[in-house]
Amino acid sequence: MMNSSEDNYNYAQFRQDAKAGQVVGITMKQNKEVPTGTMTVELKNEVYKNCNITDVDAAVKEIENKYPNLYKKMVVKPIDRSGDWITTLLPNLLMVGILVFFLIMMMKQNGGGGKMMDFGKSRAKMANPDGPKVTFDDVAGLTEEKEELEEVVDFLKDPKKFIGIGARIPKGVLLVGPPGTGKTLIAKAVAGEANVPFFSISGSDFVEMFVGVGAARVRDLFGEAKKNAPCIIFIDEIDAVARRRGSGLGGGHDEREQTLNQMLVEMDGFGVNEGIIVIAATNRVDILDPAILRPGRFDRKVGVGRPDVKGREDILKIHAKKKPLGDDVDLHEIARTTAGFVGADLENLMNEAAIQAAKNNRGYIVKEDIDKSFIKVGIGTEKKSRVVPESERRITAYHEAGHAILFHVLPDMGPVYTVSIIPTGVGAAGYTMPLPENDNIFNTKNKMLHNIMVSLGGRIAEELIFEDITTGASQDIKQVTQLARSMVTEYGMSDRLGLINYDSGEGDEVFLGKEIGQPRPYGERVATIIDEEVKDIVDDCYKKARAIIEEHMEVLHSCAKLLLEKERINQSEFETLFEGTEA
């Protein structure tokens, strides 16, 4: 029950002193950790001794029974709770401190205390009216698109002309096209041509974690636009907020749908010809809510597609204005080799070429810079330092020669522009680059079959020369299978299945939950026929491609030999190999 104290005085010694009549007074103090405590004993010679007590109540009871005289003089002090306020108040102070910290951070994020609760303020940025303006002269390759938007410019410049005759200008213009085709640029050009305020915002800027903030921002945006009318509101990537309602798993009453509902009201709510025109851009028009596409909201859809060869040349001229070019640079040839490139790709190509020229301490861009940049942008950086075994270099040389021969011989394929066995950054051991004669709006059946034959050329060359095959043709085989399956299921190019689309469209489904439980649109018998038709197409193309390569075995060997010697050959060097072999 007793413990020794600091001065080695204990409860047993207290008993001896009390029995001998040496104890004059006792002070008992209980600890917070009951029932422990401390006892101070006053002896006759005014000496004070302290000892620790493990059970204060038991000690007090013992003193009461055995030493009643001392018990009458004993002082029992209550528990000292003077420090309890610290332990009670400290957690509350900590919570208050955290709350104040978050409030300060929110104030800083929103630009000060006055805007602390301005979650509903629009985040749209207004273009500086005194800054540099983008005009239609800065937009190339979009001739028809500019003509269609000139009506919007005319209205913003002279709205009375339209209002006087009772015409209603489109309230909204939806720019639809792949990424990088210039949708944002042409919207800025409309504002620059009309010389009106231009508000730009992204669709994702409307939606927040707080319910109702998106709708409030839409109201604030249109309210600000009315103050600056006539003006243009440009919403980039509108599919982030205007997706079809009621789609996917879960409920439909969420923040995004409330924001969309408010946008629908605002677009069809302000007065006729008030001078506010909404231009939006998206590359996924198929997932937009039908209500936003109806007349009175987005009246017009302007397709901003990939530029043709003339459009690419015009775009290249714009991006080459401030870049000195060498005499050997032919922009028309570059435009031909960049089929499928959009404006952003072409700007990147010219920028990479300028970087390449600067690295070589040259004050102008030459054809070699553009060729290297094209390979870097389109295929991947060449890894000339990579050590490749001679056996693999030989396999790659014959593989690429097989592709190149079919490119050259087949009538629906473009001539060969470059053949290389230098590894690239995308993991390819080499590449064969064609030079298309022109841009095709659609593919013919023969051209698709020729594409399959070209893709099989590398594997066929490996089989003929090495009597073995490698994994190098895996990507070719994947492309062949996808193309042949599309011919059968999407394009109606199968005699056995006829003009019926059997494509399930699973690759285009973007809403989680809609495809769950969706049955396949055909039975097992049709699935078997599809597999058989795909195999028949590939097998037939394989036989024809093999026959062509066997007919040009001399060219195959000479091309592979030249590739092993030079690593990369151009169009003229490759076509020279066919001299004397063609009638």
Which residues are annotated binding-site positions? 177-184, 399, 403, 476
- C-alpha–C-alpha distance, residues 379 and 367, integer Å: 17
Torsion of CA 62, 66, 68, 74, to 10 degrees: -40
State the Cα–Cα distance between residues 264 and 206, nearest whole angstrom: 14
Cα–Cα distance measured from residue 285 to residue 270, given in angstroms and rounded to the nearest whole number: 24
- Reference 149, options 118, 104, 192, 107; nearest CA is 192
Give the C-alpha separation, 450 to 405, whole Å. 12
Report DSSP letters for 415-456, one per residue.
PEEEEE-S-BTTS-S-EEEE--SS--SS--HHHHHHHHHHHH
Decide: helix, strand or coil at residue 512: coil
Q: Name the residue among 405, 414, 419 with its Cα closest to residue 461.
A: 405
Determine contact, residues 116/107, Cβ cutoff 8 Å.
Answer: yes
- Cβ partners under 8 Å of residue 309, min gap 6: 332, 335, 336, 339, 438, 439
* 370 contact partners, CB below 8 Å, separation of at least 6: 329, 334, 349, 350, 353
Q: In whole angstroms, what is the distance from residue 110 CA to residue 104 CA?
A: 10
Active site residue 313: no
> Which residues does the annotation place in the binding site for Zn(2+)?
399, 403, 476
H-run or E-run covering 55: none
Could you tell me which residues are beta bridge partners of residue 40?
A: 27, 50
How many of the other CB atoms lie within 10 Å of CB of 425?
12
- Amino acid occupying residue 506: E
The closest of 321, 306, 283 to 137, measured between CA atoms, is: 321
CA–CA dist 113, 379 (Å, integer): 52
Nearest partner of 300 among 279, 282, 284, 274, judged by Cα: 279
Beta strands in 78-155 (DSSP E): 125-126
Catalytic residue among 266, 400, 462, 533: 400
Please state, in angstroms and rounded to a whole number, the distance separating the CA atoms of residues 149 and 186.
9
- Which residues are tagged catalytic? 400
